[in-house]
Chains A and B, each alone.
Chain A
Amino acid sequence: MKKVLMGNHAATIGAVLSRVQVVAAYPITPATQVIELIADMTAKGEYKGKFLRVESEHSAMAALLGASTAGARTFTATSSQGLAYMHELLHWVSGARLPVVMVDVNRALAAPWNLWTDQTDSLSQRDTGWLQFYCATNQEVLDTVIMAYKVSEKLLLPSMIMLDGFTLSHVYEPVDVPDQKAVDAFLPPFAPTTRLDVDNPGAFGSLETPKPYFRIRRRMAVDMDRAEALVEQVGSEFERSFGRGYGAIESYRSQDAEVSLVCSGAVGSTAKQAIDELRAEGHAAGLLRFRLFRPFPTQALKRLSRPDMKLAVVDRNYSPGHQGIFCEEIKAALYGTKGAPEVYGFVAGLGGGDITVELLKEMWHEVKNKTADPVSPLWMEDAR
């Protein structure tokens, strides 16, 4: 059924359709509406699970640690400072191999205060062992929440799903809301046998010495290695059930592109317009939109790259002392690969600056004309 939904509400509806059992959350701009809709649906009897109005984000993730270990399907939503506050719990939940699903509404981190979209908050959590998905439309947000439960529960690793603060979270778009029966057929109930069970008592998270700890992390690495293929597989299954398919990287007119823009998040939609305009002007332009960032989709990247293609990576994020994070990871993934494309980085839109069609086209030309720097990112903005 088609509904006009704001991004935050699309996230909530995805979680409720996934029959989430325990939500523990704390409000933070611009994610608050995700939680307020849960409260509203609880009051109306539309959401029948548990809702804990915890007193902080750290406690939100701690509560989900408890609920997930008890064997319940769990959900929360947060942004920037809140995500940073739950950092130690992010490591804990993934180390404990719990399939928690969380929505992070991308927002710049203080200092100084800034409320607008910026990916550094989620990207600075990239080592915590969570799968990371970046969405470009509200439809994708709703769909990805449902798919994330399937992937996470198969893999026993948590997932975080990102949408841009304000530019997606607060924007209303038409969304095809799947019906509950169809979601139930796609996503079976969460039924772990290893959980807190008085008939089978055991301790979760007990101290491990170096040798077993090393092997436990290796186990996580092996499971992460099969996650990219699983994400593609679940994306295809979703297409068969709902008519909309998703992969690790979306390719738009990039098969024969001379230069491909590479970006993630809502900019992905803007970039399609930039590519269409460039094409209309006679240029061989294409787009690679990263949906999956963790695990890093190396297979998809290699499949979609060509030796004669140049990549213009647009990062709405920055790792101080290094580069834009997508750019540095793409370079690392392609290192040593025969026939790897040239990679150029751009940093733009930090703290919510608008990444416009004109700006993207100019970046594309910088790479085409070889005026971009293959080593350091070019920091650019639309000055109008």
Chain B
Amino acid sequence: MPRLKDEPLTTPVITPSSRPMSENLTGDWRSVAPRVDGEKCTGCAICWKFCPEACVDISGETPKIDMHYCKGCGVCATECPSHCIHMSEEVVEEAAS
């Protein structure tokens, strides 16, 4: 079994954690996914406002939900005043065999 004394001492005395949490992709948590109907969207940005993952991009004309992070909670769909976000089961594409 390895002995720690044979391992070089590389641990610093103290290291604050500063790597961004965005390195952790949480998209695989969801069982349902939101889809925004761009036609009905009024650009109110309420979906962005209430997203617990802060993963809605409102820099464009319609909100873009970042599927790398979306956990499928459905808050955006429930809060959207135009009812233009729908939650549905995702179809996961099988890898080509």
Chain A residues with Cβ under 8 A from B59's Cβ? none
Chain B residues with Cβ under 8 A from A212's Cβ? 11
Chain B, 1-37, contact with A by CB distance < 8 Å: what is the 0/1 string?
A: 0001000010111111110000000000000000000
Query: Could you tell me which residues of chain A, from 294 to 329, have a CB within 8 Å of some CB in chain B?
Result: none
Quick check: which of A73-81, A123-131, A180-188, A216-224 contacts chain B, the rest being far away? A216-224
Closest A residue to B18 by CB, please name it.
A202
Q: Is A96 touching B17 in the complex (CB atoms < 8 A)? A: no
Q: How far is the CB of A154 from chain B (nearest CB, A)?
A: 11
The secondary structure that dominates the A interface is mixed
Q: Is B9 touching A218 in the complex (CB atoms < 8 A)? A: yes
Closest B residue to A207 by CB, please name it.
B17
Query: Could you tell me which residues of chain B, from 21 to 72, have a CB within 8 Å of some CB in chain A?
Result: none
Among A204, A215, A216, A219, point to the contact of B16 (Cβ < 8 A). A204
Chain A residues with Cβ under 8 A from B15's Cβ? 194
Q: How far is the CB of A90 from chain B (nearest CB, A)?
A: 17
Q: Is B17 touching A216 in the complex (CB atoms < 8 A)? A: no
Is A206 among interface residues, defined by CB-CB distance under 8 A?
yes
Closest B residue to A202 by CB, please name it.
B16
Q: Complex: how many Å from CA A222 to CA B15?
A: 17
Q: Is B17 touching A219 in the complex (CB atoms < 8 A)? A: no
Q: Is A96 touching B4 in the complex (CB atoms < 8 A)? A: no
Closest A residue to B14 by CB, please name it.
A97
Chain B residues with Cβ under 8 A from A223's Cβ? 13
Chain A residues with Cβ under 8 A from B17's Cβ? 202-203, 206
Chain B residues with Cβ under 8 A from A201's Cβ? 18
Q: Complex: how many Å from CA A296 to CA B56?
A: 57
Q: Is A156 touching B11 in the complex (CB atoms < 8 A)? A: no
Q: Is A218 touching B11 in the complex (CB atoms < 8 A)? A: yes
Closest B residue to A220 by CB, please name it.
B13
Q: Is A215 touching B14 in the complex (CB atoms < 8 A)? A: no
Q: Complex: how many Å from CA A321 to CA B9?
A: 37
Q: Complex: how many Å from CA A204 to CA B16?
A: 5
Binding site for A on B (CB under 8 A): 4, 9, 11-18
Contacts beyond the supplied A156-B14, A203-B17: 20 A-B pairs with Cβ under 8 Å? A96-B14, A194-B14, A194-B16, A200-B18, A202-B17, A202-B18, A203-B16, A204-B14, A204-B16, A206-B17, A214-B4, A215-B4, A215-B11, A216-B11, A218-B4, A218-B9, A219-B9, A219-B11, A219-B13, A223-B13
Binding site for B on A (CB under 8 A): 96-97, 156, 194, 200-204, 206, 212, 214-216, 218-219, 222-223
